[in-house]
Structure 1
Amino acid sequence: MADARGAVPGLEVRALHAGYPGRPVVQDIDLTLPAGQVAAIVGPNGSGKSTLLRAIARLHRPESGTVHADGADIWSLGRRQAAHRVALLPQSPRAPEAVTVAGLVRYGRHPHQGLLRQWSREDEQAVRDALEATGTTDLAAERLDRLSGGQRQRCWLAMVLAQHTPVVLLDEPTSALDLGHAVDVLELVREVAATGRTVVMVQHDLAAAARYADTVIAMKNGRVIAQGVPRDTVDEALVKELYALDADILQAPGDASPVVVPRARRTDARPASALPSPSPAASAPASLTSAPSAATE
C-alpha cells in the first residue's frame, strides 16, 4: 500500500497475530518501514521478536493479518517467490559440513534456480558482489568452520545479500560476537540499508539498537509497546517497562544517540546478603587444593 506521496513501503505489517495452538505469541502488530532504513526490534526474552521475524519471512503462518514486502503480499506468494522479496538470517544458523565460504554464499542464489533456470553469469556476479560487499572475497576458498565468529557472521551476511531481496531480516546478528566484531557487523548492516534495502534486526543491546537503527521497535508480551526514532523512543520509562531496570539515558558524542547506563539492580533481584557464601577451602576435596595439574601449568 502506497503512502501519501505514492511511495511503497519496504515492509508493511498490518494487524498481525501469530502463535501456536492455545498459545498466542505476537498480537496486533502494525509496522510500516521504509526502504533504505534499519529497524531494530528490542525487548526481553520471550516477547515474540523471533516469531515476528518468522511470520514476516513466510516461515510461520500467522493466525490473521497481512505482510507486504516491496508491495507484495508475502502469504499470497509461493515460497520461492516470497524468497525473492524477503531473506532471513536466523540466530545461530547451521551450515553443511566442510562448506567453503563461496559455497555458502551460493546458497543465497537457490531461490533463483529452477527447472528452466540453471546457474548463470548473473548468479556468479551476485556471489562476487556479496563477497566484495562483506569483505569476504579473500575468504572465498576457506572452510566456514575454520573461521572466527566475526568472519563467519560476515559470510552468512554475504549469503543473505546474494539472495538479492528488498527486505532483509536478521535475528540477533551480533550474538556471541566481541565488541569489535559486533561493530563491524552493525556497520555492515548500515551499508546494506544504504543500498535501498529494508533491514529489520532483532537486537538485545539497546545501546547498539539506538546507535545503528533508524527506528526502534520495542516489544513486550507479544505486543509493540513503543516504536519510533531512537532519541525519541529510548528513555528511562521504556527501559523500566521492558527490563524492570532503573537507568540513566545519556547522549553519545557526535550523533547524540541514546546510551543506557544502568543505575540500580533489577527490582526483583536478590540482595547480596541472600547469596550463599563459598565453602571454606579446608572442606574442599584434596584434589582441588593440591598443586596445579599439568593442564594448567
Structure 2
Amino acid sequence: MTTTSGLEVHGLNAGYPGRAVVKDAELAVQAGQVASIVGPNGCGKSTLLRAVARLHRPDSGTVRADGADIWHLSRRQAARRIALLPQTPRAPEAVTVAGLVRYGRHPHQGLLRQWSRADELAVREALEATGTQDLAAERLDRLSGGQRQRCWLAMALAQHTPVVLLDEPTSALDLGHVVDVLELVREVAASGRTVVMVQHDLAAAARYSDTVIAMKDGRIIAQGSPRDTVDEALVKELYALDADILRAPGDASPVVVPRSRTVL
C-alpha cells in the first residue's frame, strides 16, 4: 500500500484522554484522486482528518504527505504539504474574499520572504479556479452559503499543497451548490492534487470519488472503488439500514435507495 506521492496513513491511533477514537487506521490515496471518508456520526471521521492535518497529535502511527512524514516537519513545512478546510471555518470580521484567499499564502511567508508576485499569482489562480474572481472585493459575510464555500475552497487552493483535506465541504448547501462544489473537487484532483474529504452523503461520495473509505467505531472497515465497495452489506453495517443499490445512468456509480431501518 505504498505510494510515491499523495497521502499515506499507517497504523494511526488517535483519541482523547480515556477514549480511543481512531484505531489502527491504514489508508493510501494517490495523487490526482479523490477519496471520501464515510460512516455514521461519531465514528471518528473528523478526528482522523484532524490527525492527518497535524491538528491532533496521534497516539501512534505515521502520516506521509507527498513522501514526507508530516510529524517530522515544522508546522509551517507541514502546512506547505497539507491544507485543511474544516467543517465550520471562521474568518475575521468584514474580511473580503481576496483578503480571505490571501491567508492561504501564510505558510509561504517568513522573515526573509514577504509577499511576492508568486503569491499574487497563486491567489489569482485560486480565485479563477473557483469562479470567485468577480467576488474578490466583496465581504465574505455578505455572500450566500454556496459562494462562501467556494471562497473557502479558494483559500485552501491558494495554499498550493499537494494534499487537500475537506471536512464535509457540502454541508448545509442546496443540491445545485453541492454539485458545484463536488465538480470543483474533481477539477482540483485533475490538476494532480490529492483530495480527501469527509462526506455524509454516501451517494455523492460514490459518484464523485475514486476511493471510498468506510469507518465504523473508529476503524476503517472497507476501502476501495465505489463500485467495488458500496453495496447492501456495507450500508447495513454502517447505518443499520436496509437499502437497494442501483446503478446511475452513464457511469454506473452506486445509488443508495433506503428501504427500512434495521432493528438492532
Q: TM-score, normalised by structure 1?
A: 0.88
Alignment match, 1:271: none
Matched, 1:50 2:59: no
Alignment match, 1:239: 235
Provide the rounded CA distance (Å) in 2 between the counterparts of 1:128 and 1:116.
23
Alignment match, 2:163: 167
Aligned length: 264
Alignment match, 1:179: 175
Q: Is the contact between residue 251 and residue 258 of structure 1 (CA under 8 Å) also seen in structure 2?
A: yes
Q: CA RMSD in A?
A: 1.0
Alignment match, 1:150: 146
For 1:52, give the aligned amino acid. Answer: L
Q: Work out which of the two has the higher radius of gyration on C-alpha atoms and give 1 or 2.
A: 1
Deviation at 1:266, TM superposition (A): 4.5
For 2:50, give the aligned amino acid. Answer: R
- The structure carrying a bigger strand percent of its residues is 2
SS of residue paired to 2:222:
strand
Provide the rounded CA distance (Å) in 2 between the counterparts of 1:112 and 1:131.
18
Partner deviation per Cα, 1:98-137 (whole Å, 9 max, x = no partner): 0000000000001101111000000000000000000000
Sequence identity percentage: 85
Out of 212, 217, 229, which is 1:216 matched to? 212
Alignment match, 1:134: 130
Q: Is the contact between residue 8 and residue 64 of structure 2 (CA under 8 Å) also seen in structure 1?
A: yes
Matched, 1:28 2:24: yes
SS of residue paired to 1:60:
coil
Q: Is the contact between residue 186 and residue 212 of structure 1 (CA under 8 Å) also seen in structure 2?
A: yes
For 2:33, give the aligned amino acid. Answer: Q
Out of 86, 92, 96, which is 1:96 matched to? 92
Alignment match, 1:9: 5
**Structure 1: tracts of 5 or more residues without a match:** 269-297
Greater length-normalized contact order (CA 8 Å, ≥ 6 residues apart): 2
SS of residue paired to 2:260:
coil
Out of 37, 42, 49, which is 2:33 matched to? 37
**Structure 2: tracts of 5 or more residues without a match:** none
Alignment match, 1:87: 83
Alignment match, 2:223: 227
Alignment match, 1:284: none
Provide the rounded CA distance (Å) in 1 between the counterparts of 2:88 and 2:76.
23
SS of residue paired to 1:67:
strand
Partner deviation per Cα, 1:200-221 (whole Å, 9 max, x = no partner): 0000000000000000000000
Deviation at 1:267, TM superposition (A): 2.5
Alignment match, 2:199: 203
For 2:92, give the aligned amino acid. Answer: P
Deviation at 1:32, TM superposition (A): 1.2
Q: Is the contact between residue 9 and residue 32 of structure 1 (CA under 8 Å) also seen in structure 2?
A: no
Q: Is the contact between residue 236 and residue 262 of structure 2 (CA under 8 Å) also seen in structure 1?
A: no
